[in-house]
Structure 1
Amino acid sequence: MSIQNLSRAIAENLSADAFALTLSVAQWDTLAGYLQPIETGIGDVLISQGTHDRSVFFIESGAVSVHRVSSKEQMRLAVLSPGSVVGEGSFFSREPHAANVVVTGAGRVWRLTAVRFTEMSNRQPNMALDIAMALGAVIAKRMAHRSKRVAVT
């Protein structure tokens, strides 16, 4: 399965909290070996609030809704589109996810697990560093905007 559509979606994402990763075609092909492509359908749950999974999801196509559930209400925090990333907060913090992430538009996401990231760090350290820095930048951008701050997942 080609990762070039994900590469294009990331390059074309101009949102304030864009995941800015620039790789060569060969590097994208290498990265694909560490990721798991997942076809998504409306209503699929990518992340459940309170779980400890450290996976990061890169959105190639479709859309996801990020929302937090409390005892009183459910609050939508963000809607993310192609080229965005979700799961970045728990990836770094090892804390439970702060929100649910549900597919609202069918498409494809690419999953990077913590185990596969560790493998990449050992085999492709420069690529792993580029990804970590780009994910860190997403967190920083989301934290800088009051409305996006709660959307760090």
Structure 2
Amino acid sequence: MDIAPLVQAMQTLNAEDAFRARLTLDQWRVIAPYLTRHEIRSGDLLIKQGDADRSMYFLAQGSLQVFVTGGPPGSSRIAILRAGSVVGEPGLFNDGPRMANVEAMTACEVWALRGPRLEELAQRNPALALELLRAAGNVMAVRMRANLAKQTPFT
């Protein structure tokens, strides 16, 4: 599978919470075998709130909505994500339950990085794994600051 379109989408995404890994296309090609590509139909859940899953997803094509269930009326939708975004990044750092649902708004192509595969990459190429974690941590920090500014609870 060619990872170049995903890398292009990430590099051109103009969003505050963009995944900005300092990696070349050749380095992404080294990472690619550790990822799995999935096609998601419109309306399908990629992540279910409450499930345990140690995966982060890179959105190559399509759009996703992030929402929570069980909150006060009008507070359920958290974000809409476009191609080039990442979602589920807390799963790389925490074994706990997912905090939100992620649903495909359109047909999507996503690439999954699962925790065990990241650990394998870290053994074989620690610098690449560290850069992925640095960029994922940055996305989490930006999103957490935005939620605090909006006074959106995250539980």
**Structure 1 pair 93/41, CA: closer, same or farther in 2 (3 Å)?**
same
Helix, strand or coil for the counterpart of 1:102? strand
- TM-score, normalising length: structure 1: 0.92
Q: Could you say which structure has the higher strand fraction?
A: 1
Please give the per-residue CA displacement for 1:112-144, whole angstroms capped at 9, x wherever unaligned.
000100000001100000000000000111111
Q: Using the alignment, how far apart are the partners of 1:135 and 1:108 within structure 2?
A: 19
Deviates more, 1:16-25 or 1:135-144: 16-25
Helix, strand or coil for the counterpart of 1:126? helix
The answer as to 2:130 corresponding to 1:129 is yes
**Structure 1 pair 81/72, CA: closer, same or farther in 2 (3 Å)?**
same
Q: Which runs of 4+ in 1 moved over 2 A?
A: 71-74, 146-152
Q: Using the alignment, how far apart are the partners of 2:141 and 2:64 within structure 1?
A: 20
Please give the per-residue CA displacement for 1:14-54, whole angstroms capped at 9, x wherever unaligned.
10111101322221111110000111210121100001111
**Structure 1 pair 110/149, CA: closer, same or farther in 2 (3 Å)?**
farther
Q: Using the alignment, how far apart are the partners of 1:29 and 1:6 within structure 2?
A: 11
Deviates more, 1:139-148 or 1:79-88: 139-148
Q: Using the alignment, how far apart are the partners of 2:99 and 2:140 within structure 1?
A: 13
The answer as to 2:116 corresponding to 1:119 is no
Judge conservation of contact 1:59–1:84 (CA < 8 Å) in 2.
yes
Note the aligned Cα RMSD (angstroms): 1.9
Q: Using the alignment, how far apart are the partners of 2:60 and 2:151 within structure 1?
A: 21
Which amino acid in structure 1 is aligned with residue 8 of structure 2?
A: R
- TM-score, normalising length: structure 2: 0.91
**Structure 1 pair 121/150, CA: closer, same or farther in 2 (3 Å)?**
farther
Number of residue pairs the alignment of both structures matches: 152
Match of 1:69 in 2: 69
Q: Using the alignment, how far apart are the partners of 1:140 and 1:134 within structure 2?
A: 10
Structure 2, unaligned runs of 5 or more: none
Q: Using the alignment, how far apart are the partners of 2:151 and 2:15 within structure 1?
A: 12
Helix, strand or coil for the counterpart of 2:116? helix
Which amino acid in structure 1 is aligned with residue 33 of structure 2?
A: G
The answer as to 2:54 corresponding to 1:45 is no
Q: CA deviation at 1:150?
A: 5.5
**Structure 1 pair 135/58, CA: closer, same or farther in 2 (3 Å)?**
same
Structure 1, unaligned runs of 5 or more: none
Helix, strand or coil for the counterpart of 1:32? helix
Which amino acid in structure 2 is aligned with residue 57 of structure 1?
A: Y
Q: Using the alignment, how far apart are the partners of 1:41 and 1:53 within structure 2?
A: 20
Q: Using the alignment, how far apart are the partners of 2:153 and 2:49 within structure 1?
A: 13
